[in-house]
Structure 1
């Protein structure tokens, strides 16, 4: 085949492709460089109807569509070209040479890319009746051409020029714009195939043979233009290769079905291409790879419909059982009379939107018992109706709820194939061929049966994968806190973003919980690894932290207990953890770290700093003690804790990520919700490789006017004096309504400390969302609730506290113990008292 017409100038922006003819201009770079590393050039051909019938791998890389998806479609609809560039691919202008540049959405991220076009009319030699090729189109990313040109790699195309320069390599198929594509300024003189060009081709293409070499060279020398062959593939022995063994060059004819006229051969609109064994295996391999390329069961069903049209059928629809499509139930072993299905994919080669109103995607179906769809699922075998007559089409149409579907079925060849995987029916797909196309033969049935097996397994695998991911995500969500706690003196906000890949459900956890004395416990951790095991370990770690925190341990002691527990549970229990305790009365934070990312503190004035918390070893490693660091904080500060997924990136030190986090937090105070969202927007990628957890805490503190503290002498006379002091403070706080009950409970705790405690006694009252009373003493004996019978002389004090207080408890301190209770505040209808929160 020979390219006709004059060589057009390169498109705008492709200056790197030209060889500068001015004095001192450099020569094309490919002459002194190896063949590897050149830019890929997309190539495809159109038949006389303007439909694609050849599509190379470089076109797949540039535009994102595979050969099976591109076959039989028009470039304008497939490539989403601008309106002004679509006319070059219309059949009525096929006789013109065209080149230009336009913006096309990239296949990988959808961003616009500048693509250069060279469109050539191709005139078959010696075969004016052939209809398989009419236009050759070349395209390339102009940005990459400017960087790596002027060498262009081209797949499945051999180009030779009469100036003695011809190059070909499968690993980097080289096509040079000048002078390979450009015809010579003067027609060549009389030449002979035995000239330098012949010897060069013979060296490069030893598998072609003398006859093929003579034919190519004679054509080049006769026309004075490049010769293009779309059926030759060869790998240069000098090109390094990693992969499968190079295949020997084979030029084989394409078989034509006897039932089709010769003019329709290789035309996707009028039937399948050659049906030889190698082509069939290649199609099945490529189709199977595309169907199995996604773990989404619905996407696998859509891909199945796309690869079947137009190669196998003119219309394809995939319908899954409703439970399979929604992944709400296991596929049933037996189908009953109330089977419900959903149409999940439709593909056809008619004009766009032709069947949208008749067979819309997503429609729920109730197929009748006698239809071929139900029969195929019940028997497990395909149902083939060679030609659907008007009566049969009317019956099928009636089974779809009265919708007139006769135009879709009448006169067409119908094939209904069940989708069966692991012995269970998942659904069906139906195929239709137009009346002007041969019906499904034995080879078609065998190919469809094989594709049905592969597609059913892919759909079932995707369904099982989705179920596993849902279980892992539900397990993880159930183990993470739902809503932040509401505590006096602090505001807590969470953010959590799972890993970009659903299978990467990890062990990041976070929590915040109230502690005795109106303090707040905060923990952020990360279990090593991903998956269900990590999520389960995360849940155990979080529960253990909450359990240990109730004992009011110092942060370092809590991490020590957690580390000992993890080592007892097993070797896989390894995690980083940062535990913090905020005291809104003392206005300080205590930290202990086990190999986790340090927190960031932002002052009220907007100054941010990474806190110097000792790193420590991860939980489960053991061997080193943990340290508690106490840092004073001012009211209005903000504390931010996170997991490493927010600040760690491949190829970047984690300290750089912490510095970026600190810089983002600096400045005027913002709402904590907005702060968390801003951090995710700036630091988190759209598909993070690891989970991300953020805990932002506003450190507001409790006003000193809401706290009262008395140091009491351990003597009996202190009880009535304390009752009087408490009554005076309650009157100051306008809480006279609860004074009697509260004084009674205070006296019970003080008496208990006087009788069973040791050393000095401290009483502290804190007003917040409830009225808290704490009594400290130096005794080590913990009081406990016991049953007192009618004749007992003691033991009723804690029973009284348990009955009248909203909550009560005890916990140890470094020097003794604390007994506390909370009393509900009365309902206030007027304005809050002065000094209140």
Structure 2
């Protein structure tokens, strides 16, 4: 109950027109001699909380209670310092009541605002009361609070039926009379307590309040109806506290705010066995029977039945919402309903909801394909599994209660189904004889609707020896259906989000390891144990010019879609920069500069390595990542002393490149910190354990990756895990030929002859003429446009690679030569005859290369 009054506001503004912009607001009408409020004579069937918030002199929110959070979906931190109009989406014509210019009035009205739970429009009633400027606000700040606003969801209030009403809003005046505010709507509100004072009593501290008994109209304090009714509404407080509250309201003429009471609602549940899946304390046995209930339905301590019903709804809601799997939520719904509410429960969801292949439709008919996802009953095991198998796909015939429930959005109740009706329903469902299941039983079909869309239905059946579904059962099942539908839809949306994140991450990671001469690459990736924690770990291996291999492992800070997207950008950037064949430290420097240009959130660790199978050397640069492990052919393992460096995106420090000689048959293992970190060990201990497990005789790289995951990773890792294992085999020396050439014209025919001899030695005479022509073009180009010494290298592998090095800085490029041009056709010829060709810079010059396919 809320009692509110403001004599000053009533006297000052009586007969005045409301300020502009408040067409639906009504100033309070303080009429003397009004009859006692009607709610004093009505039974209290329930208590609905009122959202209460206060505004300072600037019209900004400075107090926000828990009921306001539930109604509007915004917490105290979100609401503090904001205006109600900007926070609550109040219509334009109602905003004037919340502006400082209108703070002297008492207003009431109703408007439509979105609901906090599903975003659907809801009708909300609100009241605005002025507070004395020199009063003490709910937060104890003197002189700051100027307005108290109350709001409530009218639909929720009406659903509870007749009870405490506010068609007559009590306005207490200092003379002790109870007056009514005009224009208020039918509402029920919760008991609230006035602003704290020195002793919680009247202004004189005696608790007597203002003079005047107020007994004549039934609203005074003492032993009047108002105090007696307050004592009934506040059983925990007692008559003395009710008298004090009434005295203070009557003395100050201000509303009472901010006291929440928990009262038992007189709801009567079905008397029967407790559900198997719920943890509800059973009722104590009484003389009325073994189950603790009298034959007439009354038994146990007062309020026991209603408390058990509320406990059932609470426990059932918690268990249904305890899983993020929408199918598990549907199964739990069936389990909690049997046998507490029904003897058989079956849940059918739309096929699109089960597979999450499309958004649930708004309008449904008999063409919708359904899937039965859960069945629970209290008969003998195996009784109904044959006629109602789980995971069965079905189409519902038109005119059945199931289609009717989905089309109308309302439950369908068929009491005591006779044999003829059971036969018609069995025929409509088709396929199996369901008459024994329906005959003589109560059938209740309830739609599952969330966010305005139908997800499916569930049907409940009660045996003939059990009372049919009553009004209380229907209300309880309807409430449980709303909760279950929201849990199922949330699970569906969660699954879709996880699938999107995983698909995004999977598309940005390499599919198959590259096949390059002189190296074998294998990798493993394991996502985090929680699907929502999809992270930014990435890895890659790609061929580089000169038969070299680029290897990268990185870890973007954070988790989720953003990290996965950043990971994809990082991997693409590394591949793009690596084609330029720059040193590893220069590549990380370019990557760091790019990340800082993209934004502050682009922070990642990264380890980049380049393996040269001809020179049998490996170069590394590190940006805050864990170091790699190198295992020799003999089985000795060691952590490579790669300088740690700062992560990508931090900047400020240069990176370093180290070069390590490697022997043929060695193994190189790179990983992310998800493999090493655990609660019982730090990264250093994990690295040492990794090194120890890699030592010893060589095993297949695939087995090595699997063994590391089994030994070092947990079954549900908190972070992603990426492992890259590379076998460093090297290219045999007999497959490589190198010539150092003097930069003079006579070298061209000489090198053609030497290349022809080497191709004959390799038994590649079939491609000899073409390769000699291409070699002469590249050597001539280096002689004319290059500088310094010239080096030619041939490498035999899956293709024949020819590289020409010189010290010049001008990069050749392909151009179009017209019919009269005397030059410019050399690279056109190379581009036409070679399988691939390209150029890249080196530390001292450039390289022009081509590849030619080998004969089969």
> Smaller-chain TM-score range?
0.5 to 0.7
- Quick check: 2:288–2:299 contact (8 Å CA) kept in 1? no
Q: CA deviation at 1:696?
A: 0.5
Q: CA deviation at 1:407?
A: 1.4
- Quick check: 2:676–2:682 contact (8 Å CA) kept in 1? no
CA distance 1:307–1:255, shift in 2 (3 Å):
closer
Matched, 1:798 2:827: yes
Counterpart position of 1:414: 443
Equivalent of 1:265, from 274, 277, 291?
291
Structure 1 counterpart SS, 2:443: strand
Equivalent of 1:370, from 367, 386, 399?
399
Counterpart position of 1:3: none
Counterpart position of 1:564: 593
- Quick check: 1:256–1:262 contact (8 Å CA) kept in 2? no
Query: How far apart are the structure 2 equivalents of 1:582 and 1:655?
Result: 26
Q: CA deviation at 1:249?
A: 15
Counterpart position of 2:457: 428
Equivalent of 2:653, from 624, 627, 638?
624
Equivalent of 1:767, from 796, 817, 837?
796
- Quick check: 1:780–1:816 contact (8 Å CA) kept in 2? yes
List per-residue Cα deviations over 1:288-345 (Å, max 9, x = no partner). 1111111110011011111101110110000000000111110011114411000001
List per-residue Cα deviations over 1:345-402 (Å, max 9, x = no partner). 1111111221111101100010101100000000000000011111111122122222
Counterpart position of 2:853: 824
Query: How far apart are the structure 1 equivalents of 2:353 and 2:440?
Result: 32
Counterpart position of 1:97: none
CA distance 1:256–1:366, shift in 2 (3 Å):
closer
- Quick check: 2:588–2:648 contact (8 Å CA) kept in 1? yes
Query: How far apart are the structure 2 equivalents of 1:643 and 1:353?
Result: 50
- Quick check: 1:594–1:619 contact (8 Å CA) kept in 2? yes
Counterpart position of 1:514: 543
Counterpart position of 1:455: 484
Counterpart position of 1:302: 331
Equivalent of 2:741, from 696, 707, 712?
712
Structure 1 counterpart SS, 2:808: coil
List per-residue Cα deviations over 1:399-443 (Å, max 9, x = no partner). 222201111111111000000000000000000011111111111
Query: How far apart are the structure 2 equivalents of 1:631 and 1:254?
Result: 80
- Quick check: 2:635–2:697 contact (8 Å CA) kept in 1? yes
Structure 2 counterpart SS, 1:395: helix
Structure 2 counterpart SS, 1:343: strand
Counterpart position of 2:469: 440
CA distance 1:577–1:253, shift in 2 (3 Å):
closer
Equivalent of 2:562, from 525, 533, 550?
533
Query: How far apart are the structure 2 equivalents of 1:655 and 1:439?
Result: 67
Counterpart position of 1:596: 625
Counterpart position of 1:786: 815
Counterpart position of 2:423: 394
Structure 1 residues 604-613 or 798-807, which shifts more?
Answer: 604-613
Q: CA deviation at 1:273?
A: 10
Structure 2 counterpart SS, 1:509: strand
Equivalent of 2:519, from 475, 478, 490?
490
Matched, 1:355 2:384: yes
Q: CA deviation at 1:271?
A: 11
Equivalent of 2:720, from 684, 688, 691?
691
List per-residue Cα deviations over 1:529-550 (Å, max 9, x = no partner). 0000000000000000000000
List per-residue Cα deviations over 1:590-619 (Å, max 9, x = no partner). 000000011011111111111111110000
Q: CA deviation at 1:652?
A: 1.9
Q: CA deviation at 1:276?
A: 2.8
Query: How far apart are the structure 1 equivalents of 2:270 and 2:364?
Result: 42
Counterpart position of 2:499: 470
Counterpart position of 1:80: none
Counterpart position of 2:414: 385
Query: How far apart are the structure 1 equivalents of 2:579 and 2:292?
Result: 77
Query: How far apart are the structure 2 equivalents of 1:256 and 1:309?
Result: 12
Query: How far apart are the structure 1 equivalents of 2:749 and 2:726?
Result: 41
Counterpart position of 2:532: 503
The number of residues matched between the two structures is 579
- Quick check: 1:272–1:311 contact (8 Å CA) kept in 2? no
CA distance 1:722–1:273, shift in 2 (3 Å):
farther
Equivalent of 1:810, from 839, 845, 848?
839
- Quick check: 1:419–1:429 contact (8 Å CA) kept in 2? yes
Matched, 1:669 2:695: no
TM-score by length of 2: 0.66
Give the superposed CA RMSD.
2.4
Query: How far apart are the structure 2 equivalents of 1:666 and 1:272?
Result: 76
Query: How far apart are the structure 2 equivalents of 1:256 and 1:286?
Result: 16
- Quick check: 1:559–1:594 contact (8 Å CA) kept in 2? yes
CA distance 1:257–1:617, shift in 2 (3 Å):
closer
Query: How far apart are the structure 2 equivalents of 1:505 and 1:568?
Result: 25
Q: Deviation above 4 Å: which 4+ runs of structure 1? A: 247-250, 252-258, 270-275
- Quick check: 1:641–1:694 contact (8 Å CA) kept in 2? yes
CA distance 1:653–1:530, shift in 2 (3 Å):
same
Counterpart position of 1:63: none
Query: How far apart are the structure 1 equivalents of 2:267 and 2:584?
Result: 79
CA distance 1:249–1:301, shift in 2 (3 Å):
closer
- Quick check: 1:333–1:425 contact (8 Å CA) kept in 2? yes
Query: How far apart are the structure 1 equivalents of 2:852 and 2:743?
Result: 25
List per-residue Cα deviations over 1:162-196 (Å, max 9, x = no partner). xxxxxxxxxxxxxxxxxxxxxxxxxxxxxxxxxxx
CA distance 1:273–1:735, shift in 2 (3 Å):
farther
Query: How far apart are the structure 1 equivalents of 2:645 and 2:670?
Result: 16
Equivalent of 1:328, from 342, 357, 375?
357
CA distance 1:254–1:288, shift in 2 (3 Å):
closer
Structure 2 counterpart SS, 1:345: strand
- Quick check: 2:267–2:305 contact (8 Å CA) kept in 1? no
CA distance 1:450–1:654, shift in 2 (3 Å):
same
CA distance 1:384–1:825, shift in 2 (3 Å):
same
Structure 2 counterparts to residues 39-58 of structure 1, below 5 A: none
Q: CA deviation at 1:650?
A: 2.3
Counterpart position of 2:677: 648
Q: CA deviation at 1:262?
A: 4.7
CA distance 1:261–1:445, shift in 2 (3 Å):
farther
Structure 1 residues 440-449 or 391-400, which shifts more?
Answer: 391-400
Query: How far apart are the structure 2 equivalents of 1:825 and 1:594?
Result: 40
- Quick check: 1:594–1:617 contact (8 Å CA) kept in 2? yes
- Quick check: 1:271–1:438 contact (8 Å CA) kept in 2? no
Counterpart position of 2:343: 314
Structure 2 counterpart SS, 1:276: helix
Query: How far apart are the structure 1 equivalents of 2:825 and 2:263?
Result: 99
Counterpart position of 2:95: none
Query: How far apart are the structure 1 equivalents of 2:498 and 2:855?
Result: 49
Counterpart position of 2:574: 545
Query: How far apart are the structure 2 equivalents of 1:770 and 1:399?
Result: 69
Equivalent of 2:774, from 740, 745, 748?
745
CA distance 1:653–1:644, shift in 2 (3 Å):
same
Query: How far apart are the structure 2 equivalents of 1:450 and 1:777?
Result: 81
CA distance 1:479–1:255, shift in 2 (3 Å):
closer
CA distance 1:350–1:379, shift in 2 (3 Å):
same
